[in-house]
């Protein structure tokens, strides 16, 4: 009998047919992909890597390849499956040539500029297969942007004679991969740069990236807990659970978790912004639901709140902007001074907020001196405002709110079987792209809702995913963050169901992820991936 970890580490998972052996595939050039927006500007900034063709993997007769030396780095927050990208990359490189070498840069992109790395050998990698976290190498949030950083990176990859560099990261890190690819090419450096789409937030998503890795595992981890809490709510019949979910600006995680669990109420930030729903309207909707359920003897409910919702509520956004402007001049704002300094609307908004949230807005600063939006305890904001509203409505039922925040526990769990397979395939794809001389490309796999054997393997020019956006006052080329598509099938399905979820208890209880037993219908693929296929 083996332990869980030992069995999981040794578990063999199926691979897409085309990736079974990298010696048997090559990439065909397909149509040229240009940015859909701001193509001219992007082209100017990326003369070597803009306007490249889509690459599609196809089978060919086996041929011999040369040994490759490739570097790899984790960039940004953890996402489950990262270790499998590296295992897949290593496997792929060694399929191409047994003398290939894999270099892991330590602690994120700064490992590249500072030349901090270690060679990764199969013995060490064996201990990381199918495990979560990025602890094999560590990670970091630094970027390689300044001329100094770019030239240090160039020197390091030259000194190491790297044939390729794989950057595992989110939208900004993949933008960074494109910048590096362009920089290397324009300096006559042979190192190919390839990006791999990672983020639990799900906001790196487009025609070519059906889903970013880590999203599935994070949502299943949160949903296991949401399901447990729903079962508890059904049994205890007396708590109203306000569950805030990690996920930055976009509400992908909240939407996916709601498809996995069918809670009573879910806020979708993108919808709130589109409909210009006010804070008071959300609170009223919640309050009405609580009253209605209480009349049906249901003094319990489960409510999901996306982490970034506050910035999508119009008057909160205005208030935060106004406070940030005031903070440019003053370091400390007093409550008393606000009546004069804020406009009427924003002052009114401020006054409706619970005291603890007011204090947070006035005192908590990020390193740039701005309001620390991510620290605002939205779950408590809603609890306090709903409580007040229930009092106004002379609610006679019971209201026992419980606040939860699910975050870090979802970033580094053992990857779901989907993420584990997807990441092995992404790593192999990155190896194949480098071997084929592609630079400035992202490893992309399509047809993910289907059986692994029929997944389709692509290389996508990263520049084709870019547009120009203003960041910190400057126009910059970036990969557009994907918010929840309110016209998309996943949201539409949710929208068609949610009214009944408010009244009835249609809770789904997904249970813990199962890795070893028979395949389970509901644990194969992300529900939004299936709906949107």
Which of 1, 328, 392, 499 is the binder for a copy of itself (CB under 8 A)? 1
Q: Does 232 bind a copy of itself (CB under 8 A)?
A: yes
Q: Rounded to whole angstroms, how far apart are CA atoms 412 and 133?
A: 4
Q: How far is the CB of 154 from a copy of itself (least distance, A)?
A: 27
Does 293 bind a copy of itself (CB under 8 A)? Our answer is no
Report in angstroms the alpha-carbon separations of 157 from 97, 144, 192, 193.
Answer: 20, 13, 10, 11
Give, as ranges, the residues between 393 and 422 that touch a copy of itself (CB under 8 A): 402, 404-405, 408-414
Size of the chain, expressed as the number of residues it contains:
533
* Residues 459 and 441 sit within 8 Å (Cβ to Cβ): yes
Nearer to a copy of itself, 231 or 533 (CB): 231
Could you say whether residue 527 binds a copy of itself (CB under 8 A)?
A: no
Residue 187 vs 237, nearer CB to a copy of itself? 237
Q: How far is the CB of 302 from a copy of itself (least distance, A)?
A: 10
Are 258 and 304 spatial neighbours (Cβ–Cβ below 8 Å)? yes
Give the nearest distance from C-beta 434 to a copy of itself in angstroms. 25
Q: Quick one: which segment of 146-154, 168-176, 227-235, 324-332 binds a copy of itself (CB under 8 A)?
A: 227-235
Q: Is 201 a catalytic residue?
A: yes
Q: Which stretch binds a copy of itself (CB under 8 A): 168-176, 217-225, 279-287, 458-466?
A: 217-225
Residues 27-66, one symbol each (x = binds a copy of itself by CB under 8 A, - = not), give ----------------------------------------
Q: Which of 45, 395, 515, 530 binds a copy of itself (CB under 8 A)?
A: 515
482 binds a copy of itself (CB under 8 A): no
What is d(CA 281, CA 277) in angstroms, rounded to the nearest whole number? 6
Query: What span, in angstroms and rounded, lies between the C-alpha atoms of 86 and 102?
Result: 9
Neighbour tally for 370: CB within 10 Å? 15
By the rule CB under 8 A, 214 interacts with a copy of itself: no
By beta-carbon proximity to a copy of itself, the closer residue of 42 and 72 is 72
* 261 forms part of the interface with a copy of itself (CB under 8 A): no
Name the nearest CA neighbour of 460 among 9, 22, 35: 35
| CA-CA-CA-CA dihedral for 242, 204, 199, 304, to nearest 10 | 10
Nearer to a copy of itself, 340 or 521 (CB): 521
- By the 8 A CB rule, do 405 and 244 touch? yes
Among 95, 100, 131, 417, binds a copy of itself (CB under 8 A): 131
As a whole number of angstroms, the distance between CA 132 and CA 413 comes to: 5
Task: Tell me if 252 sits within 8 A of 531, measured CB to CB.
Answer: no
CA angle in degrees (0–180, nearest 5) for 523-22-94: 100
143/404 with CB nearer a copy of itself: 404
Residues 6+ apart with CB under 8 A from 179: 144, 145, 150
H helices within 393-476, ranges in order? 417-435
Rounded distance between C-alpha atoms, residue 431 and residue 481, angstroms: 26
109 binds a copy of itself per the rule CB under 8 A: no
- Please list every residue from 63 through 92 that binds a copy of itself, using CB under 8 A: 77-78
Between 1 and 328, name the residue whose CB sits nearer to a copy of itself.
1
> Does residue number 354 form part of the binding site for a copy of itself (CB under 8 A)?
no
Nearest to 221 by CA among 81, 422, 82, 408: 408
DSSP per-residue string spanning 479-507: EPPPPP-TTSHHHHHHHHHHHHHHHS---
159 or 355: CB nearest a copy of itself: 355
Catalytic residue among 142, 163, 201, 505: 201
Tell me whether residue 474 or residue 516 sits nearer to a copy of itself (CB atom).
516
Among 205, 241, 248, 298, binds a copy of itself (CB under 8 A): 241
Does 367 bind a copy of itself (CB under 8 A)? Our answer is no
Shortest spacing between CB 237 and a copy of itself, in angstroms: 6
Among 153, 225, 316, 320, interactor with a copy of itself by CB under 8 A: 225
- Please give the size of the binding site for a copy of itself, defined by CB under 8 A: 56
Compare residues 98 and 521 and give the one whose CB is closer to a copy of itself: 521
Which one of 37-45, 319-327, 422-430, 511-519 is the stretch in contact with a copy of itself (CB under 8 A)? 511-519
Binding of a copy of itself at residue 497 (CB under 8 A)? no
Shorter beta-carbon distance to a copy of itself: residue 51 or 511: 511
**Residue 276 contacts residue 437 (beta carbons within 8 Å):** no
Question: DSSP class of residue 52?
Answer: P
User: Should residue 355 be labelled a site residue for a copy of itself when binding is judged by CB under 8 A?
Assistant: no
Q: CA torsion 331→335→337→339, rounded to 10°?
A: 130
For residues 28 and 25, give the distance between their C-alpha atoms in angstroms, rounded to a whole number: 10
For the chain, how big is the Rg over CA atoms in Å? Answer: 25
- 250 binds a copy of itself per the rule CB under 8 A: no
Segment near a copy of itself (CB under 8 A); pick from 130-138, 167-175, 251-259, 447-455: 130-138
Distances (CA, A) of 88 to 14, 235, 285, 456: 12, 45, 48, 16
Helical pair 82-96 and 417-435, crossing angle rounded to 10 deg: 40
Contact 204, 442 (CB under 8 A): no
Q: Taking CB under 8 A as the rule, does residue 198 contact a copy of itself?
A: no
Handedness of CA 437, 441, 443, 446 (dihedral sign): negative
Contact residues for a copy of itself, defined by CB under 8 A? 1-5, 7-8, 77-78, 107, 131-135, 138-139, 221, 224-225, 227-229, 231-232, 234-237, 239, 241, 402, 404-405, 408-414, 509-523
Q: Which residues are catalytic?
A: 201
């Amino acid at each position: 009998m083996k332990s869980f970890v030992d069995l999981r580490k040794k578990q063999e998972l199926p691979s897409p047919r085309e990736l079974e052996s990298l010696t048997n595939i090559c990439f065909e050039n397909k149509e040229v992909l240009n940015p859909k927006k701001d193509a001219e500007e992007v082209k100017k900034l990326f003369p070597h890597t803009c306007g490249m063709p889509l690459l599609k993997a196809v089978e060919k007769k086996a041929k011999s390849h040369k040994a490759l030396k490739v570097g790899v780095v984790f960039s940004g927050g953890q996402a489950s499956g990262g270790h499998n990208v590296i295992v897949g990359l290593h496997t792929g490189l060694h399929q191409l040539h047994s003398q290939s070498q894999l270099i892991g840069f330590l602690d994120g992109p700064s490992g590249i500029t500072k030349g901090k790395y270690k060679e990764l050998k199969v013995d060490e990698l064996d201990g990381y297969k199918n495990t979560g976290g990025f602890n094999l190498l560590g990670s970091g949030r630094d970027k390689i942007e300044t001329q100094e950083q770019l030239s240090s990176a160039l020197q390091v990859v030259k000194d190491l004679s790297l044939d390729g560099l794989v950057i595992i990261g989110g939208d900004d890190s993949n933008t960074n991969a494109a910048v590096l690819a362009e920089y290397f090419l324009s300096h006559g450096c042979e190192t190919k740069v390839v990006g791999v789409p990672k983020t639990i937030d799900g906001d790196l998503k487009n025609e070519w990236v059906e889903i970013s890795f880590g999203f599935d595992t994070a949502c299943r981890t949160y949903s296991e807990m949401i399901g447990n809490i729903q079962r508890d709510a059904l049994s205890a019949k007396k708590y109203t659970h306000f569950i805030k979910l990690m996920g930055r600006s976009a509400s992908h995680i909240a939407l996916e978790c709601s498809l996995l669990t069918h809670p009573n109420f879910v806020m979708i930030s993108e919808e709130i912004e589109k409909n210009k729903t006010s804070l008071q309207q959300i609170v009223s909707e919640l309050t009405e639901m609580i009253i209605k359920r209480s009349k049906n003897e249901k003094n319990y409910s489960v409510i999901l709140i996306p982490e970034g919702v506050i910035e999508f509520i119009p008057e909160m956004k205005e208030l935060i902007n106004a406070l940030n402007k005031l903070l440019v001049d003053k370091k400390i704002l007093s409550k008393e001074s606000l009546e004069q300094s804020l406009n009427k609307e924003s002052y009114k908004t401020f006054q409706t907020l619970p005291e603890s949230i007011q204090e947070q807005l006035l005192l908590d600063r990020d390193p740039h001196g701005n309001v620390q939006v991510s620290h605002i305890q939205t779950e408590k904001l809603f609890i306090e405002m709903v409580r007040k509203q229930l009092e106004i409505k002379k609610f006679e039922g019971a209201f026992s709110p419980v606040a939860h925040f699910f975050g870090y526990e979802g970033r580094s769990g053992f990857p779901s079987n989907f993420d584990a397979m997807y990441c092995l395939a992404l790593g192999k794809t990155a190896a194949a792209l480098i071997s084929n001389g592609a630079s400035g490309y992202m490893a992309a796999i399509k047809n993910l809702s289907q059986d692994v054997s029929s997944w389709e393997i692509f290389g996508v020019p990263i520049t084709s995913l870019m547009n120009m956006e203003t960041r910190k006052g400057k126009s910059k080329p970036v990969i557009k963050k994907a918010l929840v598509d309110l016209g998309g099938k996943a949201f539409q399905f949710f929208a068609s169901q949610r009214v009944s979820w408010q009244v009835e208890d249609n809770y789904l209880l997904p249970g813990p992820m199962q890795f070893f037993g028979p395949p389970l219908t509901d644990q194969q693929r992300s529900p939004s991936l299936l709906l949107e296929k």
